Amino acid sequence: MTKIGCDEGIIYEFNKVHEPIRTIPAGSTVTIQTYDCFQNQIQSADTEVTAIDWNKINPATGPFYVEGAMPGDVLKVKIERIDIGEQGVMVVGPDLGVMGHALSEMESKILPIRDGHVLFNDLQIPVNKMIGVIGVAPEGEGVNCGTPGAHGGNMDNKMVTEGATLYFPVFTEGALFALGDLHAAMGDGEVSVSGVEVAGEATVTLDVIKGVSLRHPMLENEDVFTQIVSAPTLDEAAKTAAVEMIERIAEKASMPVSEATMLMSAVGQSEICQIVDPLMTARFVVPKSVLNQLGITFFE
Ligand code: CA
Ligand code: ZN
């Protein structure tokens, strides 16, 4: 199994002009090591948060050139496994997250991770491992790794976890895939703007799908198919996610849009990924049991 260290190359923005650090044959499984979102600069309670280098934020390991991926294709990323370090860190401060107005100082907190739990003071929080930043090079200008978009990026979607499969639109030859910003736990919304930030490794299988067009990332797990959309407001993100899904289902199932809209209003869930990044991210979630009854799949 190929293992790639974060010392081999990191990016602070997804950009089609970047030189790939490796070429990956389609169908390969690779283990990608990642720094935490502060590039491991906060290791103890003694670290002055204001003194860290704030240019070194949200590094993603990569980018990877996936053989055969061409603009208009879909990059399929199966998340096989996530391994995390033994401690996480959270940060709050002025102008960060939903409580930024009420906080006057930057503060950090080290959270030990033991036996499947994050220790928050005396509290035990179940580990809920996920990948915050994951995506491909965008169509136009580069997008910094703190911002989500049609290319993925900082989606902070807690469904991006072991067993999930992501589908990204490919905008440039080789896709230029990268990932980082693992979280040991995070709730929908990521209200403080930091999950339990942690270094670790993600093992993913990368594949290329031809002949399906996609405007925004999708995610599949054992139970559901979801459409993920990032936009300037949560209203717009949630609405576009639902619209994209309804149109896809209407087309795939050869169903009138009116029918697909009623069906999705009955069984689809509009959910929040995060509400604190430069764009907001929402997902629209459809049970596979319904897609199975319709006899449709999206990527086969
Ligand atoms: Ca993040
Ligand atoms: Zn993070």
Residue 200, domain CATH: 2.60.120.580
Residue-level pLDDT at 51: 87
pLDDT at residue number 300: 79
Domain stop point among 178, 209, 240: 209
Q: Does one domain contain both 204 and 236?
A: no
Residues 194 and 249 in one domain: no
Give Cα separations from 242 to 105, 124, 213 (angstroms): 39, 36, 17
User: Which residues lie at CB < 5 A from ion ligand 2?
Assistant: 37, 132, 181, 195, 197
Query: What is the full DSSP assignment across 20-75?
Result: PSEEE-TT-EEEEEE--TTTT---STTS-GGGS-TTS-S-EEEEEEETT--TTSEE
- Note whether residue 54 is domain-resident: yes
Main-chain dihedrals φ then ψ at residue 54, nearest 5 degrees: -80, 0
Is residue 7 classed as helix, strand or coil in its secondary structure? helix
CATH number of the domain to which 246 belongs: 3.10.28.20
Cα(115) to centroid(ligand 1), Å: 24
Nearest alpha carbon to residue 217 among 77, 14, 66, 58:
77
In this structure, the answer to whether residues 54 and 115 fall within a common structural domain is yes
Domain identity same for 194 and 231: no
Q: What are phi and psi of 258, to 5 degrees?
A: -60, -40
Q: Which residues have a beta carbon within 5 Å of ligand 1, which is an ion?
A: 132, 154, 156, 181
What's the number of domains the chain is made of? 2
Measured in degrees and rounded to the nearest 5, phi and psi for residue 265 equal -70, -25
Is residue 27 included in any domain, yes or no? yes
Domain presence at residue 299:
no
Tokens of 102: 């009420």
Whether 11 is covered by a domain: the verdict is yes
What percentage of the chain exceeds 90 in pLDDT? 97
Residue 175 falls within a domain, yes or no? yes
**270 and 137 fall within a common domain:** no
- The pLDDT of residue 50 is 86
Give the range of the structural domain holding residue 224, as residue numbers without chain letter.
218-294
Q: Distance between CA atoms of 300 and 209, rounded to whole angstroms? A: 9
Does 115 lie in the same domain as 18?
yes
Global pTM reads 0.97
> What's the confidence (pLDDT) of residue 125?
97
Identify which ligand lies nearest to the alpha carbon of 153.
1
Mean pLDDT computed over every residue of the chain: 97
Q: What confidence category does residue 100 fall into, taking pLDDT thresholds of 50, 70 and 90?
A: very high
Look at residue 106 in the predicted model and tell me its pLDDT: 93
Q: Answer yes or no: is 184 within a domain.
A: yes
**Are residues 224 and 175 part of one domain?**
no
- Ligand number, closest to the Cα atom of 155: 1
Q: Which residues pair with 33 in a beta bridge?
A: 201
pLDDT at 276: 97
229 in the same domain as 81: no
Same domain assignment for residues 171 and 228? no
Residues 123 and 230 both lie in one domain: no
Grouping H, G, I as helix, E, B as strand and the rest as coil, residue 293 is helix
From the CA of 91, which ligand is nearest? 2
Ligand nearest to the CA of residue 186, numbered in listed order: 2
pLDDT at 1 over 80: no
**Mean pLDDT of all residues in 192-221:** 97
Domain stop point among 154, 188, 209: 209
133 Cα to the center of ligand 1, angstroms: 6
The answer as to whether 62 is a domain residue is yes
- CB-based contacts of 222: which residues, under 8 Å, 6+ apart? 163, 288
Relative to the alpha carbon of 194, which ligand is closest? 2
